Amino acid sequence: MADAASSLAPKPEGATGVLVLSDGHVVWGRGFGHVGEAVGEVCFNTSMTGYQEVMTDPSYAGQIVTFTFPHVGNVGVNEEDLESIVDGAVGCIVREDVTLSSSFRSAGEYGQWLADKGKVGLSGVDTRALTRRIRMAGAPNAVIAHNPDGNFDIPALVARAKEWPGLVGMDLAKIVSREIQEGWEGSTWTLGTGYGAGEGSTRPHVVAIDYGAKDNIFRNLVKAGARVTVVPAETTLEDILSLEPAGVFLSNGPGDPAATGKYAVPVIQALLDRDIPIFGICLGHQMLGLAAGATTSKMHQGHRGANHPVKRLGDGVVEITSMNHGFAVDNTALPDNVEETHVSLFDGSNCGISIRGKRAFGVQYHPEASPGPQDSFYLFEKFVGMLG
């Protein structure tokens, strides 16, 4: 199978990179960034801006991102557009070779930055064909490899892709989460001044559990008026309570919510029992759902982009949102205590819940944007407003 498939795609002259799918299919291209190989699930992101934010979003841990927009790297990289210092996506696939950047904000080139981060890049690929394949056949597991001399052991790469267990059942949150507690400082970014400062210890205290969080969430919480302490994914209930939180925030993160939920859900349930206000985003939202008795499952192709319409069921308003998720809360079987508050206008999947009788809610999408639209900042204000 592997040999038959790869013989369909003989290595073209000058190929220095390759994507090898677990079914044996091979997609040749030009490697850039880190020299080496990485295994992960191939997903696609349809956002036309914000590649640096995407590549530093820990939710992409264990994934290879296909950018559907052909030109990536145009504005280079800088020190500000980082969403995390930990590893997110292991590699990326683009159609066009990355050219030198042009932006007053650029402090370096994307290709070199990927190399520095140990991430593998592959260019010269028909990313639209790859995206269509993912749409039709689901997100495949694969190995992305870069070798300037063009030598690849394809059967070995196929074997590695096959051996990789996949994201279902994988708890990646504890890998990308912070290892130690951290008092967060800093608010959102403005042109000309950069990131603002958080101020005042008299603000309501939010303890944010980091399952692989994007930093912009914390900045938005600060902007909305909170004081934020970030704690690692596996922080115990006692340790959280000892911080005397006015509210607890559950972050986004990679992997299967059911896997991470094994240790996270009991903590969340205990917080719910104590009626502590809770706000969850993405993985945090899914685990809030699990804690309230809902179930989650893996989506066919996931939602990744910056153009996703979400309907707010309370008043019918549509929010254009940034999304990045491959699992979702099942909205066909929600328990009575869970109210669906937001729904995707693309496919009707769940995008928000609140827990009846509790001050707890979550959204599947990313109101912190970065990248993406900033239509949903109100959620941070709503949460901070609950903290009395």
Partner 1 sequence: MPKRTDISSILVIGAGPIIIGQACEFDYSGTQAIKALKEEGYRVILVNSNPATIMTDPDMADATYVEPISPEIVARIIEKERPDAVLPTMGGQTALNCALALFNDGTLEKYGVQMIGADADAIDKAEDRQRFREAMDKIGLSSARSGVAHTLEEAFAVLERTGLPSIIRPSFTMGGTGGGIAYNKAEFEAIVRSGLDASPTTEVLIEESLLGWKEYEMEVVRDKHDNCIIICSIENVDPMGVHTGDSITVAPALTLTDKEYQIMRTASIEVLREIGVETGGSNVQFAVNPKDGRLIVIEMNPRVSRSSALASKATGFPIARVAAKLAVGFTLDEIMNEITGATPAAFEPTIDYVVTKIPRFAFEKFKGAKDDLTTAMKSVGEVMAIGRNIKESMQKALRGLETGLDGFNRVIALEGAGRDVITAALSRATPDRLLNVAQAFREGFTVDEINAITHYDKWFLRHIEEIIAEETNILQHGLPIDAEGMRRLKAMGFSDKRLATLAVRSVGVAGGLGETQATRSGLLHDALRAMAGATSEKEVRQLRRKLGVVPVFKRIDSCAAEFEAITPYMYSTYEAPFFGEPEDEAAPSDRRKVVILGGGPNRIGQGIEFDYCCVHACFALAEAGYETIMVNCNPETVSTDYDTSDRLYFEPLTAEDVLEILRVEQSRGELVGVIVQFGGQTPLKLAQALEDEGIPILGTSPDAIDLAEDRERFSALVEKLGLRQPANGIARSRDEAVAVANRIGYPVLMRPSYVLGGRAMEIVDSEQQLDDYIATAVQVSGDSPVLIDQYLRDAIECDVDALCDGEQVVVAGVMQHIEEAGIHSGDSACTLPPYSLPADIIAEMERQAEALAFGLGVRGLMNIQFAVKNGEVYLIEVNPRASRTVPFVAKAIGQPVAKIASRVMAGEKLESFPPFKRDLPYMAVKEAVFPFARFPGVDPVLSPEMKSTGEVMGIDADFPTAFAKAQLGAGMRLPTEGTVFVSVKNSDKPMILPAIRTLIEQGFRVIATSGTQKYLADAGLPVELVNKVAEGRPHIVDRIVDGEVSLIFNTTEGWQSLKDSQSIRASALTAKVSIFTTAAASVAASEAIATIRGSQLEVRSLQDYYS
Binding residues for L-glutamine: 59, 253, 255, 283, 286, 324, 326-327
Shortest distance, CB of residue 315 to partner 1, whole angstroms?
A: 8
Q: Does 4 bind partner 1 (CB under 8 A)?
A: no
Pairing of strands 360-363, 350-355: antiparallel
Cβ atoms of 279 and 250 within 8 Å: the answer is yes
Whether 368 is catalytic is yes
Q: Does 345 bind partner 1 (CB under 8 A)?
A: yes
Q: Does 349 bind partner 1 (CB under 8 A)?
A: no
Residue 222: which of 235, 203, 236 has the closest Cα?
203
Q: Which is nearer to partner 1, 122 or 206 (CB)?
A: 122
Q: Does 269 bind partner 1 (CB under 8 A)?
A: no
In the block, residue with structure tokens 């896997």 = 259
Cβ atoms of 59 and 324 within 8 Å: the answer is yes
Q: Which two three-digit tokens encode residue 173?
A: 């949150």
Out of 125, 176, 294, 338, name the contact with partner 1 by CB under 8 A: 125
Residue 19: which of 7, 29, 9 has the closest Cα?
29
Distance CA 219, CA 196 (A): 9
Shortest distance, CB of residue 148 to partner 1, whole angstroms?
A: 18
Out of 17, 22, 29, 361, name the contact with partner 1 by CB under 8 A: 29
DSSP character at residue 86: S
In the block, residue with structure tokens 């064909």 = 129
Q: Alpha helices of 177-296 — where are they, by DSSP H?
A: 215-223, 237-242, 257-273, 283-291
Catalytic member of 146, 303, 325, 366 = 366
Catalytic member of 146, 282, 308, 342 = 282
- Spell out the residues 6+ positions from residue 346 whose beta carbon is closer than 8 angstroms to its own: 303, 308, 309
Distance CA 162, CA 160 (A): 5
Residue 249 three-state SS:
strand
Q: How far is CA 1 from the centre of its chain?
A: 33
Q: Does 309 bind partner 1 (CB under 8 A)?
A: yes
Catalytic member of 53, 83, 319, 368 = 368
Whether 366 is catalytic is yes
Out of 57, 81, 87, 256, name the contact with partner 1 by CB under 8 A: 81
Shortest distance, CB of residue 241 to partner 1, whole angstroms?
A: 37
For residue 247, count other CB atoms closer than 10 A to its CB.
Answer: 23
Q: Does 346 bind partner 1 (CB under 8 A)?
A: yes
Distance CA 209, CA 386 (A): 18
Considering only residues 183 through 202, tell me which ones interact with partner 1, judged by CB under 8 A. 189, 191-192
Q: Does 385 bind partner 1 (CB under 8 A)?
A: no
DSSP character at residue 283: H
Q: Which is nearer to partner 1, 101 or 324 (CB)?
A: 101
Considering only residues 202 through 261, tell me which ones interact with partner 1, judged by CB under 8 A. none
Out of 35, 69, 162, 269, name the contact with partner 1 by CB under 8 A: 69
Q: Does 320 bind partner 1 (CB under 8 A)?
A: yes
Q: Give the residue numbers annotated as catalytic, written as ranges.
A: 282, 366, 368
Using CB under 8 A, list all residues that contact partner 1: 8-9, 12-14, 25, 27-29, 44, 46-50, 52-53, 68-71, 74-75, 78, 80-81, 95-96, 99-105, 124-133, 135, 189, 191-192, 301, 305-309, 311, 316-318, 320, 345-346, 369-375
